[in-house]
Structure 1
Amino acid sequence: MTHQASISHFQAVMLGLVALVMFLPGLFVIPPIDRDEPRFAQSAKQMVETGEYIDIRFQGDPRHKKPVGVYWAQAAMIKILDPDMSEGIWVHRLVSVFAMVGVVILTAKTGAVLAGSRAGMLAGLSLASMMLVGVEARLAKTDGLLLLTIMMAMLPLAQSFCGTKPFRILFYAGLGLGLLVKGPVILIPVLGAMAFVSAFRKNITWLASLWVWWGPLLTLMVAAPWYAAITYKTGGDFFAESIGKDLGGKIAKAAEMHGAPPGVHSLLLLVLTWPFAILLPGIIRRFKVWWQEPWALFLVAWVAPVFLVFEMVTTKLPHYPMPAYPAIAILMGAMFGRISQGLGGLFPRILLGLVPTILGLAMVAGSLVLALEPLWLMLCLGALLTIMGVAFGILLPQFVHKMPGSLPQILVALSLVLQVILLQFFAPRIEPLWLSPRLAERVALLENQCPGPVGLMGFAEPSAIFLLGTNTQILSQEDLAGFSGIVLTNQQNMPASFQAPGHMVALDLPNIEGINLNGGKKVSFASWCAHAQKARP
């Protein structure tokens, strides 16, 4: 099989700009989202503060769950854009944004290699519009950067599969960077696809063009120095924590109550790949048709190992099978023209309209219950989203029959409008959920009259540490005796025996009330000032 198609540089730039527009809404206005995002961001910030770029720390505790790649990337972004560390979480999120833009472009290039330039462009557009990809592009975590390294490896692998000259340096660099970002996870799609195709073809000769003697050395040069340094520095504790406890623990049992039965990831595709999810029923029905295509084996070999592994793993989070999403997008792009005429059926119409309708109704209800401001704007936007969902569900057959060539752009526009409404306007205004920014405002109000560090009691979310500062202390009853500074106590989570020491004065300020995003419990923070001159020695 030989396929010389590709997308032009102009097409790649335009696709990257579309992806950037899709990923920007909400990026600058949504506060840090507990718990993983501020853990990564805080640890990266501490690297810049301390100059320690080998051992990863969250305050004084080792953070040995993931390798150093994303921390270095976020630290570099801080150095470039925010050297005084005053801009907040959006600087850290730019790593994921730029990584996902790269993922979209590489997906389009891979799709073009496999199935032609039109299929590649449609694949890029569909991937940029998917709900899961949009969410992960806005979070300062590992997953966007990991997916970029996976695509760096999968593009040359696809070239080798098609019999064209592969970009070998990209393949081996991608493997090394992937090992630095999330350890062995990159091997699931890459080695999985290699093994699947080789077993199906009963030979490995298709990989010959990918081999070069310096390739494994490049991978080792990228990844091995840090692994050697962290092993020396921690005496092997990093591997015990990251492989033994973090990775091994998620395989053996549901971590942090994120368990679900096999099959959940497959069902979630109908929501997480929306709006292009309307193509999935037709793709499934026409399996025997597209399985005859020369690109089919590679895409199935890419998707199958990822879903097989993560459906079997006990811990399940929605983003786990995301390494397979570019392959699903390429499949959608390759089959779009053949199945688009069947999109006027009842199920695709319901699927297209149901997501914005439900979200719009939830937005109206949430705005009323929480009295979000300005209420009129929230109600209007929620109503608009609901009307759009109903209208698009009804009008989908008209789009299919009268403007089939414009349907991909219509789906992209629908996804963009939904994300702007939800992420730029609605989510930032849900103040009861965004506790840490309100705590930071309270501290800014009090820091002149009550100098010293900040102490938290009954609340230890990472977003509070990130926004209040590395020196923020999590206090117990015993710690209060020797503490001097601002104290914020969660009255809903205080021990029954709590008694403020004599040097700690309650401040006449309204409690900060809300709901903890993790667990949904009510919180209510009282403000105190512990005076140094009255503190015990």
Structure 2
Amino acid sequence: MLSLTPALDRLTAMASASHVRACALLLLLSLVAFLPGFSTLQPLDRDEPRFAQASKQMLESGDFVDIRFQGEARHKKPVGIYWLQSATVAAGQALGVPEARTQIWLYRLPSLVGAIATVLLTYWALLAFVGPRLALLGGALMAAAVLLGVEARIAKTDAVLAACAVATMGALARCWLDWTRSLAFVPSSRNWLVFWGATAIALLIKGPIVPMVWGLAIIVLSLSERSFRWLKPLRFGWGLLLCVVVVLPWFVAIAWKTGGSFFAESVGQDMLGKVAEGQEKHWGPPGLYLLIFFGTYWPAAAFAAMAVPFAWVRRREPQILFLLAWIVPSWIVFEAVPTKLPHYVLPLYPAVTALLLLAVINGGIDRFRRGAVATAALVFLVPLALVAVIIGANWSLDNTLPYLALPFLLVTLFLAGTVIGAFRRSDFEGALWRCVLASLFLSIGVYGFAVESLRSLKLSPRLAETVRAAGCANPAVMTLGYREPSLVFLTGTDLAMATTGAEAAAFLNQPGCRVAFVESRFAGDFQTAIAQSAIKPRLLTTIRGFNINGGRKLDIAVYARE
């Protein structure tokens, strides 16, 4: 594998010779990293189908102001992501995509674009800190990061939000480094438009999260400088006006339509509720993000950890200070909030990447430091644990093995092993590029083949298929027990939710083509009610699988009215 080093050197030299080539290579790497499984992965409960279903209902109702999931108001996030998803699905319909409104990959396109934009914008932001060669490596490391790869495949807000965050912070970095004379070039006169344009989009995507990140950074940097004058090139007056022009029309419309309840629910219940206590079983203790960092920022997390002493020693230097101001205050906020979700810290990972690269070029990573090689071994141990989990899940749930995935997983482990060898030779750039290659093979193996082979996890798609196979057009559908949002998305907005067997039996006794899903926990109650009814429904099939959210195996009987 030593021959890989000159090949990587030639590739990076060629690609970093121009920004166009660098962006072309990063686009290619992003597609290889993000596309496996993109269209075949089932809707992932519970957040993704909630977003997709709300966007679908906008198309069904023609109401692009209010946000609803079935008959329930979904006043948690602003409207931006729903508009983007509705637009991509409408475009898919216009282009003739079959059953476009239930094709989850169409709803994921904004996330894919957001993830690719995050990679390209990371390259642009890093040019303020390092040369094109290392900025290219930084963009590649973001494409390889596990967390961004996950968000690229989920139809919700966080990949787009990460792109907005890195755009604002890249612009802010140029302003700060120009002020401190740490930047070799003068920022573009349009830098302020990048900053405020990305902020305006972020406000429509997820409210105040991005302004919180750059606001905390500004406070730290201004206190260190004892002045806010360095912010003058960002034209706060014009910028705030731009945000008002972009954001205010929808905020006024939703306030009028809901009588102000949107703000009461989104701010009072959703945002402040997460600050007060862990919501929806997502509580986590302080320090959780540091613990899972080695998984979510794999494969570069081990090297980033080794860069911490370098960052501390040189914390007063303008470049390092800016990156710490980007990371530390917001990270503390996320750790302090009881509600913990892995993607919350994603907007901070480009800054972690920049710190890692500055440590590499300034001798801040020492392979002779005690425990350094053991830390680098995490690059191998993390995918090894993941492979064990995947094989175990396939065998225990479906009594099979992911045979097509195994070659890619083995290559991943081999490449991860060579990372340790490159690290021991102090070839840190070569080690990080090997990390990127290992991540690409892992993505293909896991998303392209291993997850696809887990048939037990595809409960909702299999249930939706039984509806299509029922033999009648547009059947009414009810579910008893199993109530995941993915089932609503795949079977239709009018999916009825029963709470008792008698209710499901009464539903099947009504005229017309009808299908009911009955989870085994309610089978006795349902059969008792059916025995007392005039019409006996036909058992079409029984679907067996595993519900990740409940953490248990399910048997769901599918009945149809004769």
TM-score by length of structure 1 reads 0.91
- Which residue of structure 1 lines up, in the alignment, with residue 348 of structure 2? 324
Partner in structure 2 of residue 535 of structure 1: none
Deviation at 1:203? 0.8
Cross-structure match for 2:6: none
Is it true that 1:254 corresponds to 2:265 in the alignment? no
Greater alpha carbon shift after TM alignment, 480-489 vs 227-236: 480-489
Q: Aligned AA for 1:188? A: M
Shift in Å, 1:502: 2.4
Q: 1:101–1:504: structure 2 CA closer, same or farther, 3 Å change rule?
A: farther
2:518 paired with 1:487: no
Shift of 1:259: 1.2
Query: Quick check: 1:355 aligned with 2:382?
Result: yes
**Amino acid in the other structure paired with 1:123:** G
In the TM superposition, what is the alpha-carbon distance from 1:355 to its structure 2 partner?
A: 1.2
- Whole-Å separation in 2 of the counterparts to 1:268 and 1:41: 28
Runs of 4+ aligned residues of structure 1 deviating over 4 Å after TM superposition are: 402-405
Is the contact between residue 259 and residue 315 of structure 1 (CA under 8 Å) also seen in structure 2? Answer: yes
The alpha-carbon deviation at position 381 of structure 1 amounts to 3.7
12 and 379 in structure 1: CA distance in 2 versus 1, 3 angstrom threshold: closer
Q: Following the alignment from structure 1 to structure 2, what is the Cα–Cα distance between the partners of residues 364 and 478?
A: 41
- Residue aligning to 1:282: 306
1:151 and 1:398 map into 2 onto residues whose CA distance is 30
Q: What is the aligned partner in structure 2 of residue 534 from structure 1?
A: none
2:204 — aligned with what?
A: 180
Q: CA deviation at 1:245?
A: 0.8
Counterpart position of 1:49: 60
The CA deviation at 1:88 is 0.9
Opposite residue 151 of structure 1, the aligned amino acid is V
1:307 matched residue in structure 2: 331
User: Matches of 2:286 and 2:68 in 1, distance apart?
Assistant: 34
Contact kept in structure 2, 1:176 and 1:223, CA below 8 Å: yes
Rounded Cα–Cα distance in structure 1 between residues aligned with 2:236 and 2:428: 45
Question: Which AA in structure 1 matches 2:355?
Answer: L
Which runs of no fewer than 5 residues in structure 2 stay unpaired? 1-15, 179-185
Instruction: Identify the range of structure 1 (211-220 vs 140-149) with the bigger mean alpha-carbon deviation.
Output: 211-220
Contact preservation (8 Å) 1:100, 1:144: yes
Mapping of residues 387-466 of structure 1, within 5 Å? 388-389=412-413, 392-393=416-417, 396-398=420-422, 401=425, 404-448=428-472, 452-466=475-489
How far apart, in 2, do the equivalents of 1:143 and 1:220 lie? 22
- 1:114 alignment partner, SS class: coil
Q: How far did residue 309 of structure 1 move? A: 0.6
Counterpart residue number, 1:34:
45
Is 1:17 the equivalent of 2:28? yes
Equivalent AA in structure 2 for residue 165 of structure 1:
P
The 8 Å contact of residues 121 and 333 in structure 1, kept in 2 or not, is answered as no
In 1: Cα distance, 2:78 partner to 2:415 partner: 47
Root-mean-square deviation over aligned CA pairs:
2.4
How many residues are paired up? 523
Superposition pairs of residues 105-254 of structure 1, within 5 angstroms: 105-163=120-178, 164-166=186-188, 167-211=191-235, 213-254=237-278
Asked if the contact 1:31–1:434 (Cα under 8 Å) also holds between the matched residues in 2, the reply is: yes
The 2-side partners of 1:324 and 1:42 are apart by 29
- Alpha-carbon distance change, 265 to 518 in structure 1, aligned in 2, over 3 angstroms: same
The alpha carbon displacement at 1:251 in A equals: 0.9
Preserved CA contact (<8 Å) 1:73 1:95: yes
Q: For residues 187 and 305 of structure 2, what CA distance do their matches in structure 1 show? A: 35
Structure 1: segments with no counterpart, 5+ residues: 532-537
Shift of 1:417: 0.6
Q: Spell out, residue by residue over 1:332-376, the C-alpha distance to the aligned partner (whole angstroms, 9 max, x if none).
A: 222234356628943234201101211122222222223355x4x
CA distance in 2, matches of 1:55, 1:153: 28
Q: CA shift at 1:380, angstroms? A: 6.7
Closer, same or farther in 2 for the Cα pair 1:6/1:227, shift >3 Å? farther
Q: Deviations over 1:205-261 (max 9, x none)?
A: 111111154221111111111000000000011011111111111111111221111
- Closer, same or farther in 2 for the Cα pair 1:372/1:188, shift >3 Å? farther
TM-score, normalised with respect to structure 2: 0.87
d(CA) in 2 for partners of 1:301 and 1:465? 43
Q: How many Å separate the matches in 2 of 1:95 and 1:323?
A: 17
Q: 2:86 aligned with 1:75, yes or no? A: yes
| In structure 2, distance between residues paired with 1:100 and 1:271 | 18
- Structure 1 residues 19 and 388, CA gap change in structure 2 (3 angstroms): closer
CA distance in 1, matches of 2:218, 2:316: 20
For 1:7 and 1:279, how far apart are their aligned partners in 2? 27
Tell me the SS of whatever aligns to 2:557. Answer: strand
Corresponding letter in the other structure for 1:485: C
How far the C-alpha of 1:191 sits from its partner, in A, is 0.6
Counterpart code for 1:94? L
Report the AA paired with residue 526 of structure 1.
Answer: A
Paired position in structure 1 for 2:561:
530
SS of the aligned residue for 1:295 comes to helix
- In the TM superposition, what are the counterparts of 1:471-486 in structure 2 within 5 Å? 471-476=494-499, 477-478=502-503, 480-481=505-506, 483=510, 484-486=512-514
Please give the per-residue CA displacement for 1:288-345, whole angstroms capped at 9, x wherever unaligned: 4443543111100100121111100011111111111111112122223435662894
For 1:459, the aligned partner's letter is Y
Instruction: Report if aligned partners of 2:408, 2:441 keep a CA contact under 8 Å in 1.
Output: no
- Identify the residue that residue 533 of structure 2 maps to in structure 1: 502
Distance 1:179 1:256 in 2: 24
Question: For residues 3-61 of structure 1, what are the alpha-carbon distances to aligned partners after superposition, in whole Å with 9 as ceiling and x for unaligned?
Answer: xx997233223212211221111101110000000000011111111111000011111
Which of 77, 94, 105 is matched with 1:90 structurally? 105
For residue 145 of structure 1, report the CA deviation from its aligned partner: 1.2
Q: Distance in 2 between matches of 1:194 and 1:333?
A: 23
Alpha carbons of 1:396 and 1:159: their partners in 2 closer, same or farther (altered >3 Å)?
same
3-state secondary structure, aligned to 1:514 = strand
1:373-425 CA distance string (max 9 Å, x none): 5x4xx257447635753773366224652865533321111001111111110
Q: What is the one-letter code of the residue matched to 2:41?
A: I
Higher deviation after alignment, 30-39 or 193-202: 193-202
Opposite residue 62 of structure 1, the aligned amino acid is A
Decide whether aligned partners of structure 1 residues 14 and 382 sit closer, same or farther in structure 2, where only a CA change above 3 A counts: closer
Cα separation, 1, equivalents of 2:102 and 2:280: 31
The amino acid across from 1:130 in the alignment is A
Give, as a single letter, the amino acid of the residue that structure 1 aligns with 2:560: C
SS at match of 2:129: helix
* Counterpart Cα distance in 2 of 1:403 and 1:332: 14
1:315–1:101 Cα change, 3 Å:
same
Question: Aligned to 2:343, what secondary structure does the other structure show?
Answer: coil
Query: What is aligned with 2:393?
Result: 366
Relative to structure 2, which stretch is displaced further, 312-321 or 401-410? 401-410
